[in-house]
Amino acid sequence: MKKIVISAFALILSLNFSCSKKTSDEPSEKELTRIHDSVVTIDTHIDIRDDFDAKGNDAGAETADQIDLAKLEKGQLDVAALALFADPLRRTPENIALARKQVDAKLAVIEDFVNKHPDKLEFIRSSQDIEKTVKEKKHGILLSFLNALSLGKDTSLIEHYYKHGVRLFGFSHAGNNDWTDSSRPNESFGDKPDEAGGLTATGKQAVPILNRLGIIIDVSQLTTKALNQTLELSKAPVIASHSGLKSVVDNTRNLSDDELKAIAAKGGVVHIVAFAAYLKDTAAFKEDYQKKIFEPLGLVAGKDNPKEKLDSAGYARYKAAYLDFSRNEWKYATLSEYINSVDRAVKLIGINHVGFSSDFNHGGGVKGYANVGEGLNITRELIKRGYSEEDIKKLWGGNFIRVFKEVEKNAGKKLSPEVAKN
């Protein structure tokens, strides 16, 4: 009965949207600017590279990164969720410590980036902060967390990172960890599909902690079992901060129609990621990924672990090849193909449950939206496809802000004494 209700709900939303949507002409630059200025633009998942240089990312000095201050201003992105992301590694005490060191280094450089530009950048720690930052014509930096590998089994560290400003939390990346199964278990780490049956005991303990603190839960990259368990345990809506559609590209990383509907039924939002490999099933991408990164080193993608198979010189070559490929992945899909996935999601679960994300600096981007500075191109494409100004506001940031407010409303905020003082 529950599935029937959810499906009927989604059908009504999609019919209403389809009936109201009409194709429009190319907007004038004046109209484009007016509409883009009127919306709160939010990208819910952007990475920073380990060599991100806060000192070099000042206005007027564009860098090789897909995000810097100059690009933020050019693309008029109001809020960027920057991920404290740890590389996937085999679960060992040494690797957990290494992953935490990577997370803390990224935290330090992001704090440095914001502190160096108080007139242009500000941390977002609440939904009210978004409104304040937009009013002051600054760019908001929202800290997100991805891959709980770096936390071991210590759920008390959630409060530690909350204290530092984390308001968005994703449990997994490529590889199972002590909190959950990943939708992409890593064979080279010894992972097995669904080995924990979804969330582990640690992961299940984490959900109410996140709810209590008012941290938005990110279900991207979870297995179906883990996603459903999270939805069942959470008292607040969740989001998928950077996901694609399995109906477009049949990849375990993407969400099925049933998963999309379940997130929407909980009141959540699915942020469609502008990542070529999850928007377009192209043989060229797969071939180039193997040939340009792994094959020269005698490795097989998805099977061999470069860190374990290669010596230090070989691993350095691997990282350089991966970085070069990653910076050019945007060439494998177009902005139109990206918005096709957005259209499909809107028709399936309704305009109130869809948003945008890029996964910039970790392979994200498409032709026409290859860096933060090209954000107006998304608004232009939406206008051309007949989306109303109100719908554009929802997609760009309104839906995320609604979830943020609901998560805050559901929060108990019973913090430890140390956190409560700060």
- CA 185 and chain centroid, separation: 19
Distance CA(378)–CA(374), nearest Å, equals: 8
The dihedrals phi and psi of 199, each to the nearest 5 degrees, come to -75, 145
In degrees to the nearest 10, what's the CA dihedral of 175, 411, 130, 83?
A: -10
Distance CA(68)–CA(88), nearest Å, equals: 25
Residue 362 has pLDDT above 60, yes or no: yes
Q: What is the pLDDT of residue 63?
A: 81
Distance CA(168)–CA(83), nearest Å, equals: 9
Residue 72 has pLDDT above 90, yes or no: yes
pLDDT band for 239, please (50, 70, 90 cuts).
very high
Residue 195 has pLDDT above 90, yes or no: yes
Q: What is the pLDDT of residue 54?
A: 64
Q: Give me the mean pLDDT over the 150-164 stretch.
A: 98
DSSP 173-204: BSB--SSB-BSS--GGGT--TTTTSSB-HHHH
- Answer for the pair 344, 15: CB distance below 8 angstroms, yes or no: no
Quote the pTM value.
0.91
Pairing mode, if any, of strands 269-273 and 216-218?
unpaired
pLDDT band for 60, please (50, 70, 90 cuts).
low
pLDDT band for 341, please (50, 70, 90 cuts).
very high
Strands (E), 58-182: 79-85, 121-123, 139-146, 166-170
Q: Classify residue 303 by its DSSP letter.
A: T
Residue 244 burial (10 A CB sphere; 0-12, 13-18, 19+)? buried
Residue 55 has pLDDT above 70, yes or no: no
Q: Give me the mean pLDDT over the 353-382 stretch.
A: 97
pLDDT digits (tens, 9 = 90+) for 208-219: 999 999 999 999
Q: What is the pLDDT of residue 51?
A: 82
Residue 3 burial (10 A CB sphere; 0-12, 13-18, 19+)? exposed
